Chain A
Amino acid sequence: MTPRTTADIAMERYAAGDDAAFGLVYDALAPRLYGYLLRQTRDRTRAEDLLQQTLLHIHRGRDRFIQGAEVTPWAFAIARRLLVDSLRRMGREVLTATGETDGPSELPAADDLVHARELAARVELVLARLPHSQRVAFELIKHEGLSVAEAAAVLGTTVAAVKLRAHRAYEALRGALGDVTGLEGGKP
């Protein structure tokens, strides 16, 4: 059985009638969802708008929330659907993520920065060439920190399929970046 997360417990309280628990739901989900949406849109205003819509949909699910259900995959699936709809409306392709959201703890040396940017550009290029299903599976697991089971739930597919997609994405990245990152022999 999957252990209960803070978001699960908070949503359970909210569904049971504790109005104040929605703040806890927000605190548990918003940072991760916002990071995901910001990576995909690279636009703070749109990311915030999509985050607000996602949380409103979670709020609207209060009266039918299933006891014991996992909140995180549900929340990511809603966010992803709203994101895809938003991009469709704008007539744009999904932007591929390039990675880091956490600021560096100290300023890097100039050549390190150049190297990191080159590496990020190569990662972006490789991810952009991947089939959409592989790229999304890889991003949900590696960037958003979802478990394989959670990513499978978000994508509406099986655990085995997500493992395969993420593995293929990792193999493609390893093949393209192995010379500079020492990924040879590593594991996804």
Chain B
Amino acid sequence: MNHPVSHASNGPPNGDLRARVIAAVRAEPVSPRLIGLRRRVLWGVLASGFWAVVSVAIGLPGLRGRPLAYVVSLGVAWLLVGAAATWAGVARGGSMLGRAAVWRITTAALTPLALLCTSLLLGAAWPETLTDNAAIGRHVLCVVGTVGFALGPLGVFVAMWRGSDPLAPRLTGAAIAAAAGAWGALAIELHCQFTSPFHVVVGHVLPVSLLALAGMYIGRRFLAIRS
């Protein structure tokens, strides 16, 4: 039964409620921070292991006919993009509410753009990489590979934020999915012999954008605070 309240009768919550809340808390134990941190590190190790196992399963990273300096430069550039996206879009930045929404929007929007721009710039520096004979099957393979490699980091990031975003879970979902996509793009880039701008856009960058869009649903479904 509900008890409507008049203006002058609003007292503090009663002691019975305090006892009920404490009892509910005891019935649902949560580890202290240090144990939680260890658990998250373990998730990170497992995700890295998943990343490594899949990487080996599809063949070790290699040049595959590409210039060594190009592969190293692009690898480093995309590593930095992934690290920056993870820092800006996944880390909470000293607040339990996470960084301001603008950080998350920027991460979701700029991550694919940064991957594309760095690829084009390095392609201009090594003109022989601007053409290839990638068929549609290879584009699709790279799309699937990028998404597949992104699943590990995405799982870890979702676990870090699960059920804990009271402000903008869709934006958070988009940002963490874009960051995970950047790691997926890096992984597939180390394996892929095709370097033309069209293939990079379709096979490596487009899936990151698609992941960011899917992240909005993931955020609403898994990251939002629910009663």
Contact = CB atoms under 8 A, between A and B. Distances in A.
A68 B37 CA distance: 16
Contacts of A147: none
Interface string B136-174: 000000000000000000000000100110111000000
Interface residues of A, number: 62
Main SS of the interface on chain A?
helix
A92 interface: no
Interface string B27-53: 010111111110110000000000000
B30 A59 contact: yes
Interface string A97-121: 0111111100000000000000010
Interface in B1-29: 1-5, 7-13, 17-18, 20-22, 24-25, 28
Given A45-B2, A120-B7, A52 B30 contact: no
Nearest to B99: A156
A154 B31 CA distance: 26
B31 A66 contact: no
A135 to B, nearest CB: 18
B30 A51 contact: no
Contacts, number: 153
Contacts of A62: 30-33, 36
A30 B36 CA distance: 25
Nearest to A43: B2
B36 to A, nearest CB: 3
Contacts of B94: 66, 68-69
Given A56-B24, A99-B7, A17 B96 contact: no
A64 interface: yes
A60 B100 contact: no
B35 A63 contact: yes
A55 B95 contact: no
Contacts of B34: 16-17
A15 interface: yes
Interface string A136-161: 00000000000000000111111000
B22 A16 contact: no
A104 to B, nearest CB: 6
A74 B166 CA distance: 8
Contacts of A85: 226-227
A178 interface: no
Interface stretch (A33-41, A163-171, A180-188): A33-41
A129 interface: no
11 contacts: A15-B32, A30-B21, A43-B3, A44-B2, A61-B96, A62-B30, A63-B32, A63-B37, A69-B94, A153-B95, A158-B100
Interface of B: 1-5, 7-13, 17-18, 20-22, 24-25, 28, 30-37, 39-40, 92, 94-97, 100-101, 160, 163-164, 166-168, 224-227
Q: 5 smallest A-B Cβ distances: which pairs?
A: A63-B36, A156-B167, A81-B166, A101-B10, A17-B32
Given A15-B33, A44-B2, A80-B166, 16 more contacts: A16-B33, A23-B22, A30-B21, A42-B5, A43-B5, A44-B4, A59-B25, A59-B28, A63-B32, A65-B96, A66-B96, A69-B95, A70-B96, A81-B224, A82-B227, A102-B10
